[in-house]
Structure 1
Amino acid sequence: MEPNHVAYRKAIHSVTTLVAEYPAPEDLPVPSCPEWTVRDLVSHLVGISAFAIGRMSGWAEVERSSAGLPVDGLLEEWAKMGERLEQLLETHGGRRGSIMVMDAFTHELDLRYALGAPLPVDHPAYDRAFEIVLNGFSAEVAAHNLPAVLISVDGQEWRAGVGEPVATLSGDRYDIYRSLAGRRTHEQITRLGWSRDSHRWLPAFTWGPFTPPTQPVENLVTVA
């Protein structure tokens, strides 16, 4: 698992590269983030970085002059924060840093789907981000007093919930990740690789900031 500062650096680079290689109107909607445009998404990432620098350093939030800036300007601002933020993530990141990695990686995927760009074959942020969304789902399974589920991805297995798993959920890494991160409908989730009927576990896919959409915002990568 890559350190948080390395994973976050890659996310900044990836988002910047995506915008350059897949030019699109700044007001292009991002389907997986209702009411957000490409500019809104990038502005969110910059704002989270500024807020995090303030929280982790104990200083005032980084001054921002992004009002009215185009996407390119926002990305320049994000890049300027990068070195300072990496240092803080390396020394003071902890769980907060892991959540930042998850947020940046999830929104990078949101952007990829919106721009029609391919999903990355490998990404330094994936493992850290997956750990966060898996833990969130696992806590919700336990909170609903549901039996544990075995999550199987790429030949690896994780338990979600407490006790001996009574069902297995398997599938493409991005189908599983996007389901745990509130980007797939309940109907899409039921079409994944379940070893038994999945409906009793569907409420656990709503947790923290994530709620499955009522209508598909993106297609499944594979269908079991």
Structure 2
Amino acid sequence: MAAVNVPDWERVPADVAYRHVRENVTRLLAGRPAAGDLAVAACPGWTVREVVAHLVEICARVAGRLGSRPVVGPLPGDAALAALLAAWTTAGEQVERLVAGDAARRGGVMTMDAFTHELDIRYALGLPPPAEHPAYPGALDVVVSGLSAEVSARGLPALRIETPGARWTAGPAGRPAATLSAHRHDLYRSLAGRRTSAQIARLHWSEDPRPWLPAFTWGPFTPPERPAESALTTA
């Protein structure tokens, strides 16, 4: 997957984007213990508290992989939302320092996962997605790369992907056979398993999207059978 023509996007380091996600989620949930019981439509069977527990677990796991001794011990399965947020602050600050160093290249997937779940939580709270967010550029790079590998693995022709400010070519080398254009939020949620195949097909495609729709099932992501959220109404 080759990224091309990205003049309008400022890519911030992974630690900066991750900290922005962590602080956003903490601010949204602080002092709202009841929010922990809300269902998260994009993560069937999970509550907001369980999503935050997942974020803490991933953060601690990354710290271990980067060779750091954990600063947060195992938390009980029924840990309160406030305790989980506090643990994430402690572990997050540790990981952000590690990711800012020699292992900075390893922070992209962690940041993508956290950003995806920030958006999940916003929907659960009935809040709109942020108009701007420093995690968008790096997170889109990660999910386009995942789609690209799947396009190649399925023997599909290359696909050009466009959003205002950035373009990518997903799949094998060669002239793209089609172009997918979308608002960056709708594009991101489509690539991160949060939109149905029908919703993805309704994005702006220069050709029939059906050959490429199976490639949106990649890695940990599978389009849901029923819509969990609506597309943005703004372009």
TM-score, normalised with respect to structure 2: 0.89
Is 1:160–2:170 an aligned residue pair? yes
Q: Give per-residue Cα distances to partners, 1:133-184, cap 9 Å, x unaligned.
A: 0000011111111111111101422111122111110111111100000111
Matches within 5 A, 1:20-59: 20=30, 24-57=34-67, 59=69
Q: Does 1:101 align with 2:111?
A: yes
- Pick aligned residue for 1:124 from 123, 129, 134: 134
- Cα distance in 2 for partners of 1:37, 1:81 equals 21
CA offset digits 1:22-63 (Å, max 9, x no partner): 775322110001111000000000111111111102546842
Greater shift in the superposed pair: 53-62 or 145-154: 53-62
Q: Give the aligned partner of residue 4 of structure 2.
A: none
Cα distance in 1 for residues equivalent to 2:196 and 2:234: 14
- 1:213 is aligned to 224
Q: CA deviation at 1:102?
A: 0.3
**1:88 matches 2:98:** yes
Output the aligned Cα RMSD. 1.9
**What is the distance in 1 between the residues matched to 2:131 and 2:178?**
28
Structure having greater relative contact order (Cα 8 Å, sep ≥ 6): 2
Give the residue type in structure 2 aligned to 1:178.
Answer: R
User: What do residues 55-105 of structure 1 show as CA deviations (whole Å, max 9, x unaligned)?
Assistant: 102546842334432111110111112221111111143443110000000
Q: Which of residues 173, 180, 185 in structure 2 aligns to 1:169?
A: 180
Bigger mean CA deviation after superposition, 132-141 or 121-130: 121-130
CA distance in 1, matches of 2:71, 2:161: 39
1:191 is displaced (CA, Å) by: 0.4
Instruction: Tell me the percent identity.
Output: 52
TM-score by length of 1: 0.93
Paired residue for 2:196? Answer: 185
- Residue correspondences, number: 224
Counterpart-to-counterpart distance in 2, 1:147 and 1:16: 42
Q: Helix, strand or coil for the counterpart of 2:15?
A: helix
Gaps (5+ residues) in structure 1?
A: none
CA distance in structure 2 between the aligned counterparts of 1:98 and 1:88, rounded to whole angstroms = 13
Q: Could you tell which deviates more after superposition, 79-88 or 191-200?
A: 79-88
- The residue type paired with residue 158 of structure 1 is W
Q: Deviations over 1:104-136 (max 9, x none)?
A: 000001111111112111111111111100000
CA distance in 2, matches of 1:185, 1:68: 32
What is the alpha-carbon distance in structure 2 between the residues aligned to residue 9 and residue 51 of structure 1? 17
**Cα–Cα, structure 1 residues 17 and 62, in superposed 2: closer, same or farther, change >3 Å?**
closer
Is 1:14 equivalent to 2:24 in the alignment?
Answer: yes
Q: Which runs of 5+ in 2 are unaligned?
A: 1-10
From 147, 155, 160, the equivalent of 2:157 is 147
Would you tell me which structure has more helix in proportion to its own residues? 1
- Partners of 2:77 and 2:46 in 1: CA distance: 16
